Structure formats: structure tokens, C-alpha cells
Amino acid sequence: MIPTENIVSPRTEAAGFMSASVGRLAPDFSVQAYDRTKDGFTHVNLSDYQGKWVCLYFYPLDFTFVCPTEIVAFNDAVGEFTNRNCVLLTASTDSVFSHKGWCDSHPDLANLKHLMLADTNHKLSRDYGVLIEDAGIAYRGIFLIAPNGIVRWLAIHDLPVGRNVEEVLRVLDALQTDKLVPCNWKKGGKTLN
């Protein structure tokens, strides 16, 4: 279990300001990744996905308790993201070897269909404003990046709280309408313009 009581502040002076923000160009990255579908390692740049939506979500650590529930839920929805021209990527400060070891040892992660980014130097987490500097791990940050590279939506959760994949898909659907949508809108519902 991740000890949350010893973590002082979501953003310390050392962490600086959050550079990934809504309406701005998402920070590019160039990182190693574990590809479970090929049981191998690859290199990934955000620019590789130009022209597609990207859902990038961070989690604190491999070999933990809440994290696999989220990863499995996102993995179960890979087809839903693909149908929306959206690439799903996950990241933590663990190495690609740790990612592989975790997938090898955890039966629920055996069929992972999306890439696990390795942010071992913490640059990716820092650039996206989710790094807990003192702990060397990331908050549960999630970012929807438009095909033109602009961050359109983000959310950052504290460590013990898992996310809702249906809400991420709902927001993605809303953003893809390019219209005004009311509170609690769902795909197929009326827009405001």
C-alpha cells in the first residue's frame, strides 16, 4: 500500500508549476515503453500520435493495489478508445523491466493491450505536473490530448482514489462533438448549439 500520510504537498517548490494545462500544447516526450502485445520494449514519442487523440494516464507504482484495477478497466475499454481515434497510454516512474515483471506476475495484466511508459528520470511526470518529488512517484493524472497536440481535458486524483473510465470516455465524446454540452451529457444526447 502506498503511504499517503507522509506526502506533504501535491506541488512543492521543487516541482514548479504544471506545464501541461488545458488549452496549451502538451509537452512532447520521448520515453521507453513496454508493449505487452509483443512482450518487448519500444520507444515512444507523443509526436508519433499526431492526428490522433491521446489519453495519457499516470499511476503511482507497479505492484500495488489500486493501480491494477485502473489499468484493467482502461484495458477493457481499449476498443472504445480505438473507436474514437484515441490512443491509450499509461505511465509510471517504474522501469520497462518492472512493467514487464508486473505483467508477467499479475494474471489480470497478462493481456494488456496498451503501452506502459517508463518515466524513470521523472521528466514526463514532472512535465505533466503530476510528480510527487519527495516520493518519486506520480499522482493519478489523466490527460486527453487532441489530434493537434493541445491538452483539452485533465484530472489529477490523489493516490488512494481510482478513476472512472466511463467518465473519461464521456468527456472524450463531448470534446469530439466540438459543441457545447450540458452537465451529465452522454453520447447521443442533445448539445446546446
The pLDDT value given to residue 141 = 96
Q: Pick from 89, 190, 189, 181: which is nearest to 141 by CA?
A: 89
How far apart CA 113 and CA 90 sit, in angstroms, is: 11
Helix (H) or strand (E) holding 152: strand 151-157
Catalytic residue flag (residue 183): no
The pLDDT value given to residue 19 = 80
Q: Do the domain assignments include residue 179?
A: no
Q: Do the domain assignments include residue 5?
A: no
The pLDDT value given to residue 11 = 39
For the chain, how many structural domains are there in total?
Answer: 1
Q: Do the domain assignments include residue 8?
A: no
Q: Which residues does residue 131 pair with via DSSP β-bridges, in sequence order?
A: 138
Q: Do the domain assignments include residue 17?
A: no
The pLDDT value given to residue 8 = 37
Q: Do the domain assignments include residue 119?
A: yes
Q: What is the pLDDT of residues 69-103, one digit of tens each?
A: 999 999 999 999 999 999 999 999 999 999 999 99
Q: Do the domain assignments include residue 61?
A: yes
Q: Pick the catalytic residue: 67, 86, 103, 183?
A: 67
How far apart CA 163 and CA 109 sit, in angstroms, is: 17
Residue 144 sits in a domain of what CATH number?
3.40.30.10
The pLDDT value given to residue 122 = 97
How far apart CA 164 and CA 70 sit, in angstroms, is: 8
Q: Do the domain assignments include residue 145?
A: yes
- Sites in the chain below the pLDDT cut of 50: 1-17
The pLDDT value given to residue 7 = 39
The pLDDT value given to residue 193 = 85
Residue 85's domain comprises 30-162
The pLDDT value given to residue 65 = 87
Spell out the residues 6+ positions from residue 32 whose beta carbon is closer than 8 angstroms to its own. Answer: 41, 42, 43, 44, 95, 96, 117, 118, 120
Model's pTM, two decimal places? Answer: 0.89
Helix axes 66-76, 165-177, angle to 10 degrees: 40
Q: Do the domain assignments include residue 171?
A: no
